[in-house]
Every structure is written in C-alpha cells, then in structure tokens.
Structure 1
Amino acid sequence: MSTAPSSPATSSEFGTLSEEHWIEPLNDGSHVLIRPLKPEDRQREADFIAGLSAEARHFRFLCSMREVSPALLDQLMAVNFKDSVAYIAVAHQDGKLIEVGVSRYAVGGDGEQCECAITVADAWRHRGLAVALMRHLIETARRNGLKQMFSLDSAANTGMHELVRFLGFTTRQDPNDATQVIHTLSLQPGA
C-alpha cells in the first residue's frame, strides 16, 4: 500500500487550501491530479458515483442505491474547507478528465473530531490512490486543529480495513450495529 511522495503543485504561500493541488504518482506508474472538490465538479461527482459498482456504492453510503439523488449530491458538494473538506483525484481517460477517487471529512458538533469517507473507482483500486487521498485529508484535518478522525464502515469492507490499518487507525465493533465497525485515528502529534 505504499505510494511515492507527491509533488506539491502549489504551496500555502501561493493560495488558500481550496487552491492546493498535487500530482500523485501511483504504484503502477500512472499519475493523478488530487485537488479540492469545486462547485463545477457537480456533474463529475454524479458521474463518478454512477460509475461505481453496486458494492462500492454500498460500502460508501452504507445502503443500496441505483443513483445519487439531487439532495444527496447537494450535500456532497457542500464543502467549505474548514468544517467540511473534499479532495478528488482526476485523470484523463478517452480524452476526458474524469474523477477516479474522492476523500472527504465533516467536523462533528464538538469541533474536535471529524468523520471521514473515501471512495476509489473500481478500476483504480490497488494502485495507492486511497493512501494518497487519505494522507492529504489527514494532513488537512491536522492543520485545521482537529484531534480525531473516524470512519463508520461495513464490517465486510476488507479494502477499508487494510487501508486504515496501514494508516494507523484503530478498529472496533460498532456497539449499535454488529454489521459495522468504527475506525479511529488520533490526529495529535506523537500519537
């Protein structure tokens, strides 16, 4: 699950968080652009979700769905880069720029922890993309002063189990639902 270091395409001196982006080399030698989700990505995000396998959609949303509703898409697009952050990975395919992965978090009511989620297109799995997306998300959460990140996932999602173990999360059974687990990462220095 290792991935080579990314090349920052901008630095904090040159713009805000919403302008950051990175060119990420993946394990298979391909590259993707990782950048913040923008309002003009609305159709790209809808197409990405529509292109996921039924299993990938189920693991991401913890329910079965055929297509994303306009209300859910509104919620997914509502990012402010403080209380809610989303990074997408885009790549060229057949002369078109498509979304191949997304990581996001939303801050909880206590202002100290955030719930995260990550989804990678089926054809882009096992290339190190999930690790790259999550590392940027974790770094942003730390910069924003959050203390803990967690993810609520299906106990059957073995890909997520591997990813979070690699990134240092701890995992426990969800006390309210035996079919789910909770992965937690301390964002404090030295943790």
Structure 2
Amino acid sequence: MPALDYPSHLVEDWQLPDGTPVRIRPIRAEDLAMHTAFVNGLSKETGYRRLLSPRTPQPDELWRMTHIDYDRELALIATTMADGAEQQMGVARYVRGETPETAQVAEFAIVIADAWQHRGLASKLMRKLIDAARAAGVRQLADITLYDNTAMLALARKLGFSVQRDPGNPNVTRLRLALDPAA
C-alpha cells in the first residue's frame, strides 16, 4: 500500500486506567512479525474464542491480516512499549462485503492478548473501530461469537449491539450494530 493510503488520522495515544501508555493505530504491512508474535502468544482459549475453532492462522492468513486494503477494511491495533520494542496488545477489525450491495455491511472481530484483558482496552478499541466504520460509510457491523463468550457478549451489549442466539446453531450468538450516519 502506498503511504498516502495509510489512515494516519486514526492514530491515537491513550492510556489504560493504571497509566500504561497505549498507541492505537491502523495496522501496517510492516507489522507482520509483531502481529504473528501477538497471535502466537494468545492462549488456546483466547484463540479458540476468536476463531471459533482450535486452528491457528497460517502464514498466508497472517500476511493478509497485515496487508490491508483500507478502502474495504480496517484493523486497529493497540500497542505499548515493552523492553524497548513495540508490543501488540490487541486488534479490532472490520471487513466490508465485496459487492456494492453488501459494502455497507461489515463483519467485525476483536481479540485482546490475555495479559491485557479486562482492563478497558477492548471497549476503547471497539469504540474507535465503530467510529471509523461509521465515518467510512459502513451502516452495520455484524459477527457471531460463541454462546458462552460472556466477556464479548457483555462488551457487545455495553456498546449497543443487538445480541441474539442463532436459531440454526445454538453454539453461536449473532451480534449486530446499526450505525447511524448522523451520529
């Protein structure tokens, strides 16, 4: 991606309630090694809740997760400095549908590294992702989560998502958020 395409206006410095400095920014192709380390560092439970399966992303999937077409998708990462190096703490992303009819709806996902969970980071990342999606013309965010992923269900409710068990698959819950363009 040319540097001009990078949505630098979304970069934000923030801090956790305990004072830990956090930078939230769009992911870049150069983040492949850091993102790979982040994904490989997730516990089996966290990875399972994110992918709804025990599999781990393959190198080509990880490459795709960092090489973003910013017109169609966005991945916001949260990072902090640890031992003099940038370390990824979490990621929230959306991907629009591919046709003009489906481009106003985007699937979303979020995952926070185990050490950073339950500290307000997921809420901050999702709020920033929602605002960016709205500004980009997305009219609905939608995804599924496991029926027993209580942390994700609580976050979704807190952010105004509708939460509904899937009648065709009792193991998952559907999450939807209509985005008002005027908000």
**Count of residue correspondences:** 176
**2:52 aligned with 1:62, yes or no?**
yes
Alignment partner of 2:170: what SS? Answer: coil
Aligned to 1:6: none
1:156 maps to 148
CA distance in 2, matches of 1:78, 1:176: 34
1:166 maps onto 2:152 in alignment: no
Is 1:75 the counterpart of 2:75? The answer is no
TM-score (ref. length: structure 1): 0.86
User: Using the alignment, how far apart are the partners of 1:152 and 1:77 within structure 2?
Assistant: 22
Query: How far did 1:171 drift?
Result: 0.4
Gap regions ≥5 residues in structure 1: 1-14
Which of 45, 50, 55 is matched with 2:40 structurally?
50
**1:136 Cα shift?**
1.2
Identity %: 36
Alpha-carbon separation, structure 2, partners of 1:68 and 1:105 = 17
| 1-structure distance, mates of 2:57, 2:156 | 26
Contact 2:139 2:181 in 1 (8 A): no
CA distance in 1, matches of 2:124, 2:6: 17
How big is each residue's C-alpha offset from its partner over 1:45-100, in whole Å with a ceiling of 9 and x where there is no partner? Answer: 110000001010001111102x4311221331231222110010111112221100
Alignment deviations for residues 106-160 of structure 1 (CA, whole Å, 9 cap, x no partner): 0024111101000101110111111111111101110111111112111121110
TM-score (normalizing by structure 2): 0.90
9, 18, 35: which one aligns with 1:28: 18
Unaligned runs of at least 5 residues, structure 2: none
For 2:59, give the aligned amino acid: P
